Amino acid sequence: MKFIDSIEILIRGGHGGSGAVSFHRAKYVPKGGPDGGDGGHGGSVKFLATNRVSTLGKFRSKKSYAARPGEAGQKRNRSGADGADLTLQVPVGTVITDADTGEVIADLNLPDSEVVAAQGGRGGQGNARFANSINQAPEYAQPGLPGEEKRIQLNLKLIADAGLVGLPNAGKSTLLSKVTANQAKIGAYAFTTLNPNLGVLENNEERRILMADIPGIIEGASKGAGLGLSFLRHIERVRVIIYILDLTSVDPAADLRMLRMELKHYNPELTERPGFIILNKLDEIDYDEKFASELAQALKEEMQGLAEDIVFISAKEQAGLQEFKDKLFACFPEITQAERMLSINANEISESAE
Ligand SMILES: Nc1nc2c(ncn2[C@@H]2O[C@H](COP(=O)(O)OP(=O)(O)O)[C@@H](O)[C@H]2O)c(=O)[nH]1
Ligand SMILES: [Mg+2]
């Protein structure tokens, strides 16, 4: 299964019910007035952001969605029932765009935020509405109107371009602090001040990568140990997973296996995502080529060919960090989340200045 972060679907509001043509009939009332009720309105298609779903995967198998039509009006001035709305659940962070016009309908950043994306059609008026002094017995009623129909592009914003996954004490926080923009500069990135576990890496070609420190992955995290599940949810929304391993550990390859097992139990697709391996605390060991190449080999086997790169570093002594950055940037030939967010911020700033 592929990680889906962009998908197109068709949505349609329900058709409005038609108005009724009917005349009052009762004993002793030979010629009653018109009493055709109105048709019900068609249901609307809505999107609801929720943490209960984390990908757009379900929209891959079903591409077209319609809300219920309104019922027709009835005699004795009874209105038809409105059609039920159709609410489609999407992950928090989904941007909903009209695929034909490019207009952003909603940016659902908060849990439980909701938007009507396709209105249902109006119900038609029954003939009772058309009676007047000239025509006291209108023989016509309105048909219901069709619901709005739209091609919708759903985009799930990633929370970060790359996520750091490692056992407690592997050096995630240290690395994040050493490779991301310094505190003064971080102030310019509004999103990083909202979340202390995010940092922006910059290179001298003005590229930027948003990196997340994802703490709390321990054995059993996928079964809810610690705060495991709440952290695992974040990993679903990064493009590249950086595994950070501690070279002073008894068996770094076993640590990697355990980390990947937790990811796999949570969501098998995570272990198929591009990976990147960092071996940290180089300063603590006696490095030799044979040990390094054997370890690299063992780690590549754990990754089943999905590791783009393996880099030895010392976060503390700032060794190997340039190589790490260069190789990480090479994983992102396309525009990154950091770059996208920054251009959005720039637009917002220029709009509010007007
Ligand atoms: N010797 C050495 N210690 C490190 C290195 N990186 C981190 N540490 C230490 O390892 C401990 C855990 O680091 P931290 O960044 O908090 O790990 P985290 O739990 O993965 O966020 C701290 O005492 C760090 O100073 C390194 O490259 N070399
Ligand atoms: Mg930490």
128 with 244, same domain? no
99 with 226, same domain? no
CB atoms within 10 A of CB 6: 11
Over residues 262-291, the pLDDT tens digits come to 889 888 888 888 888 999 999 999 888 998
Over residues 214-236, the pLDDT tens digits come to 887 777 777 776 666 666 777 87
Ligand 1 center to 179 CA (angstroms): 14
pTM: 0.67
Q: Is the CB of 273 under 6 A from ligand 1?
A: no
CATH number at residue 134: 2.70.210.12
Q: Is residue 39 part of a domain?
A: yes
Q: Is residue 145 part of a domain?
A: yes
Q: Is the CB of 172 under 6 A from ligand 1?
A: yes
Q: Is the CB of 173 under 6 A from ligand 1?
A: yes
274 with 208, same domain? yes
CB atoms within 10 A of CB 23: 17
Beta strands in 286-344 (DSSP E): 307-312
142 with 269, same domain? no
Distance CA 35, CA 133 (A): 16
pLDDT at 125 over 90: yes
Question: Mean pLDDT in the chain?
Answer: 86
- Mutation test of ligand 1: which of 164, 165, 167, 169 has the most ligand atoms closer than 8 Å to its C-beta? 169
164 with 90, same domain? no
Q: Is the CB of 174 under 6 A from ligand 1?
A: yes
Distance CA 342, CA 165 (A): 25
Q: Which domain holds residue 107?
A: 6-156
Q: Is the CB of 315 under 6 A from ligand 1?
A: yes
149 with 172, same domain? no
216 with 327, same domain? yes
CATH number at residue 330: 3.40.50.300
Q: Is the CB of 6 under 6 A from ligand 1?
A: no
Q: Which of 133-142, 152-161, 314-323 has the lowest mean pLDDT?
A: 152-161
232 with 139, same domain? no
126 with 216, same domain? no
| Amino acid at the residue 311 | V
| Amino acid at the residue 29 | V
Ligand 1 center to 171 CA (angstroms): 4
Nearest to 240 by CA among 313, 329, 110: 329
Domain limit, last residue, from 140, 156, 172: 156
The two tokens of residue 42 are 């068609």
Work out the angle between the directed axes of helices 289-302 and 252-266 (0-180°, nearest 10): 20
Distance CA 243, CA 156 (A): 23
Distance CA 304, CA 299 (A): 9
113 with 88, same domain? yes
